[in-house]
Amino acid sequence: MKVTAIYGSPRTGGNSEVMGDHLVTCLEKSGATVKKFHLNKMNYRGCQGCMGCKAPSSESCVLTDDMTPLLKEIPDTDVLILSSSVYYGDVTSQMKGFIDRIYSFYVPEFWLKENKSRLNPGKKLVFLLAQGNADENLYSDITPKYNRLIGTHGFDKNYCVQACGVQLKGDVAKRADILEKIEKTAEELIG
Ligand SMILES: Cc1cc2nc3c(=O)[nH]c(=O)nc-3n(C[C@H](O)[C@H](O)[C@H](O)COP(=O)(O)O)c2cc1C
């Protein structure tokens, strides 16, 4: 199983990073190969809307920056982990920057096509979200929205662990319920 783990929090050792690392450790124990990317340590731009990726001679994003090697990993990835803090009711801007760049995987005029993506189906998507607010109904709209959009790229199974009421760095490490949910998710991913 090939896993790409993307960390969207700017806070080193923050709650979503702890969640991501916990899932990665569980998957590695089962023999998965994991590549990790900390977006805040990378230099990249958001999608420029240039449509260079849709030109006849091009199959991928034409921007060349730290996102380039990460995007190259996605076609062979079986499990994509997106861990992020909740900022203003959404993923962090670092994570949104990554999500916009996967627009490059759409085929030209994808809106007219049945097969919209250059990626193969059968991939799995995992969202790990950390939010300060303890109300789990708040921000429960984040993952359905992105699951639907990223799902068009062949991610036909999706999973989410939403850690609520984790405000300070390290809070999630004390939450046995969340760590357990992550372990359960790992078991489901391994099958
Ligand atoms: C800029 C900013 C915006 C935030 N917005 C929200 C929010 O909309 N809802 C919420 O519940 N918590 C919000 N928080 C709190 C974080 O989601 C919370 O501290 C979380 O544990 C951070 O995860 P991290 O440690 O992985 O970065 C915000 C924090 C910051 C710094």
Confidence of residue 86 (pLDDT cuts 50, 70, 90): very high
d(CA 145, ligand 1 centre) in Å: 19
pLDDT of residue 73: 98
pLDDT of residue 168: 98
Residue whose Cα lies nearest atom 2 of ligand 1: it is: 87
Atom of ligand 1 nearest to the CA of 17: 26
DSSP 3-state of 53: helix
* Range 136-162 average pLDDT: 96
pTM of the model: 0.98
Atom of ligand 1 nearest to the CA of 89: 8
* Range 105-120 average pLDDT: 96
Helix residue ranges per DSSP H, the chain: 15-29, 67-73, 93-101, 142-151, 176-190
CB count within 10 Å of CB 91 equals 27
pLDDT of residue 63: 98
Residue whose Cα lies nearest atom 15 of ligand 1: it is: 132
Q: What is the overall mean pLDDT for the chain? A: 97
pLDDT of residue 18: 98
pLDDT of residue 154: 95
